[in-house]
């Protein structure tokens, strides 16, 4: 039932999430020391310094990676006025992660929690939940959130990790260029061009949890101007243990296939076409209401059939060295046979024009439109009213980067104007500035407005949660109803950051923020009403969504890369946050504020180590500390992952990876709305063979 109850649950958690900043007081030393011990104590004595050719990239190279997600144009990482973290293909290869959620754990300021084998709660800077709708997630610029819940189905966001060029993660708002729902963060997953994946690739393996996985891929050329790749991927994952030691009932399997083709239409035009299809089944441990007279929800396990796919084209045209346009058209379709039983198709069109004007101004402007059509059947427990809906949105944006002092002081101002189906127009402006003291030190600052627009569950959900006998024996049904008048949730963010490189071996990236939220979601009682169906006739005792909560969050994030020797690199990170929520005097919701303030870790720390043992052997280890979730009574935990890789010869490697090694099993998150039952994340290991030929 993942998408539906969760949808509702997410609603509540969504407001609830703002509360995660309490308890800032955990000391960095108390957290970091165990992590250092966990990593360093496992490091064996190593041989003498390796030859220079073992050095992959220096720190300055890492700080000058090109990124596009901040301003919709190429910029150097060291020069952007945003808290951005780039996960490179080398990071992906070293991580041992088998999925995108586990990759995101390495980003300071990201809250990544696994609920069960096939469900995650992921957000940036708090407000976490299974459907964290303040986080905009894209693949090659195509949004993958669903208008039903505003969140992301992380279980189907699964394609070959070897095909990812990089993942750009912005902590903080991106509404001025990306629009609604880019409130607390933006994730843009960028895949490799087909020209970079020529030849055949086979990746296969298995273990105690990932019982079997296989990726087969082939890339080639058609003539001299077009390159392509096609792939197929399969996974079969075992269940996790339940909270009382029983079978968690959350195992799943998935089969998918896809392609990408890149070509030059002319000397000034290039075209990319890519697509993907998937089918699978997952067991969904959830809750449901069996009848009008049931006193409460009961646990159940529903086999959920999943299917869907997308097709996308991107046309780039270059007018001159100072002017270029991009047109992206995509269509995405999915069907989930859970309790909501929803199918949805979404058409998206985006156009943008990048033009340099003189020596001091750089413009980007664009227009966009999307249309989405959905149908859901629902049941007594959860449904949408209306059950079929077509909705649309159109937008425009403009951004100007102004050079105030050449090669030193840049000011970027812009705004996005967006019209959505539920609330009409929203304006999301921002101003960002960077000042470069010298080639190794820069500071940036930003102030931004972002908004989250309502989705289908905000406006039209019907969630029945319990029944009991009323006066005269008349059944009473307790329900939560969507509100068609639900408003946009807003944010004004103030950010400050500093980046520095110290010599050629150490880089530091620091960010601080203060966020002010308004019109956050509350759950308020509304007038009872009588309904004759479904039988027996009953009185409905409803609550509905309102916008009667506001709040503030503040925090700091630190990331570093330290190349200790040519063989050994350490990457520590740390983030600290607090959330303070306030209910309006008009609100009768007494649960949302404390639940929000206690449902995120107030501190997180990590350290990742990469070590070149020899020409053919590498060893990687990562330790992640996550503070407790007070409201959910989830204790703090430290996760230790490690992997040993052997390159037999060029193109052939074998890896042994262990995950969650410190404990046999641990709990990471409890869905506050009971949309998905939590299971415990267990210790696991797998063996992987990669063969390119």
With a CB cutoff of 8 Å and minimum separation 6, the contacts of 25 are none
SS3 557: strand
Domains of the chain, start order: 2-479+497-692 (2.40.170.20)
Mean pLDDT of 158-176: 95
Share above pLDDT 90 across residues of the chain, in percent, rounded to a whole number: 80
pLDDT band of 545, cuts 50, 70, 90: very high
Letter string b/e over residues 545-554, b meaning 16 or more CB atoms within 10 A of that residue's CB: bbbbbbbebb
For 8-47, the pLDDT digits (tens) are: 444 433 333 333 323 333 333 433 333 333 333 333 333 3
Report the pLDDT value the prediction gives residue 25, as an integer from 0 to 100.
35
Q: What's residue 76's pLDDT?
A: 84
Question: What is the mean predicted confidence (pLDDT) over 184-200?
Answer: 97
Average pLDDT of the residues in 137-166: 94
3-state secondary structure (DSSP) of residue 316 = strand
Say what the pLDDT of residue 71 is: 85
Tokens 């959505």 locate to 420
Q: Are 246 and 262 in contact (CB under 8 A)?
A: no
Q: Please determine, for residue 672, whether its predicted confidence score (pLDDT) is greater than 90.
A: no
pLDDT at 39: 37
pLDDT in tens, 424-480: 999 999 999 999 999 899 999 999 999 999 999 999 999 999 999 998 889 999 999
- Weakest mean pLDDT among 425-429, 470-474, 528-532, 578-582: 470-474
Give the angle subtended at the CA of 116 by the CAs of 115 and 117, to the nearest 5°: 140
8 Å CB contact between 50 and 628: no
The Cα 56–Cα 618 span in angstroms is 13
């Amino acid at each position: 039932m993942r998408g539906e109850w969760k949808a509702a649950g997410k609603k509540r958690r969504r407001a609830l999430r703002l509360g995660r900043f309490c308890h800032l007081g955990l000391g960095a030393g108390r957290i970091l020391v165990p992590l250092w011990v966990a990593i360093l104590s496992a490091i064996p004595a190593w041989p003498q310094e390796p030859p220079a050719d073992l050095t992959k990239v220096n720190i300055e190279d890492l700080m000058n990676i090109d990124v596009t997600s901040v301003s919709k144009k190429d910029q150097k990482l060291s020069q952007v006025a945003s808290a951005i973290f780039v996960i490179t293909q080398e990071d992906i290869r070293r991580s041992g992660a088998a999925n995108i959620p586990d990759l995101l754990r390495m980003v300071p300021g990201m809250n990544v929690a696994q609920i069960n084998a096939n469900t995650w709660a992921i957000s940036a800077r708090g407000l976490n939940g299974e459907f964290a709708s303040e986080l905009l997630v894209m693949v090659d610029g195509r949004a993958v959130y669903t208008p039903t819940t505003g969140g992301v189905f992380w279980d189907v966001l699964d394609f070959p990790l070897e095909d990812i060029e990089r993942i750009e993660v912005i902590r903080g708002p991106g509404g001025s260029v990306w629009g609604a729902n880019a409130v607390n963060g933006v994730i843009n997953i960028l895949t490799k061009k087909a020209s970079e994946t020529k030849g055949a690739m086979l990746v296969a393996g298995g273990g105690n949890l990932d019982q079997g996985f296989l990726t087969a891929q082939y890339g080639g050329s058609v003539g001299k101007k077009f390159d392509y790749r096609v792939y197929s991927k399969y996974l079969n994952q075992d269940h996790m243990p339940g909270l009382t030691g029983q079978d968690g009932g959350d195992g799943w399997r998935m089969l998918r296939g896809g392609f990408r083709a890149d070509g030059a239409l002319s000397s000034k035009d290039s075209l990319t076409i890519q697509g993907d299809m998937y089918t699978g089944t997952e067991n969904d441990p959830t809750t449901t209401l069996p009848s009008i007279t049931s006193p409460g929800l009961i646990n159940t396990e529903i086999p959920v059939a999943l299917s869907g796919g997308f097709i996308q084209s991107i046309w780039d045209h270059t007018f001159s060295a100072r002017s270029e346009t991009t047109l992206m058209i995509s269509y995405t379709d999915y069907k989930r046979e859970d309790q909501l039983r929803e199918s949805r198709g979404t058409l998206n069109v985006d156009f943008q024009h990048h033009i340099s004007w003189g020596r001091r101004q750089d413009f980007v402007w664009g227009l966009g439109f999307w249309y989405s059509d959905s149908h859901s059947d629902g049941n007594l427990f959860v449904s949408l009213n209306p059950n079929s809906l077509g909705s649309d949105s159109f937008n425009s944006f403009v951004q100007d980067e102004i050079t105030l002092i050449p090669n030193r002081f840049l000011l970027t101002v812009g705004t996005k104007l967006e019209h959505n189906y539920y609330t009409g127009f929203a304006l999301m402006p921002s101003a960002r500035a960077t000042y470069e003291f010298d080639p190794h030190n820069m500071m940036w600052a930003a102030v931004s407005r972002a908004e989250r627009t309502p989705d289908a569950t905000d406006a039209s959900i019907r969630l029945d949660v319990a029944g009991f006998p009323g006066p005269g024996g008349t059944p009473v049904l307790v329900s939560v109803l969507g509100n068609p008048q639900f408003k946009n949730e807003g944010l004004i963010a103030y950010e400050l950051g500093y980046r520095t490189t110290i010599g050629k071996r150490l880089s530091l990236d620091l960010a601080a923020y203060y966020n002010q939220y308004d019109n956050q979601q509350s759950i308020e009682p509304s007038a009872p009403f009588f309904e004759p169906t479904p039988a027996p006739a009953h009185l409905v005792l409803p609550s509905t969504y309102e916008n009667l909560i506001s709040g503030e969050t503040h925090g700091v994030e630190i990331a570093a890369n330290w190349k200790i020797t040519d063989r050994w690199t350490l990457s520590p990170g740390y983030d600290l946050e607090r959330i303070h929520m306030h209910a309006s005097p008009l609100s009768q919701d007494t649960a949302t504020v404390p639940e929000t303030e206690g449902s995120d870790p107030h501190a997180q720390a990590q350290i990742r180590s990469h070590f070149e043992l020899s020409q053919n052997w590498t060893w990687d280890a990562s330790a992640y500390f996550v503070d407790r979730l007070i409201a959910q009574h989830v204790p703090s935990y430290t996760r230790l992952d490690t992997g040993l890789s052997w390159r037999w010869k060029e193109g052939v490697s074998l890896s042994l990876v262990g995950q969650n090694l410190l404990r046999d099993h641990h709990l990471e998150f409890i869905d506050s709305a009971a949309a998905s039952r939590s299971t415990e994340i267990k210790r696991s290991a797998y063996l992987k063979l990669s063969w390119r030929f």
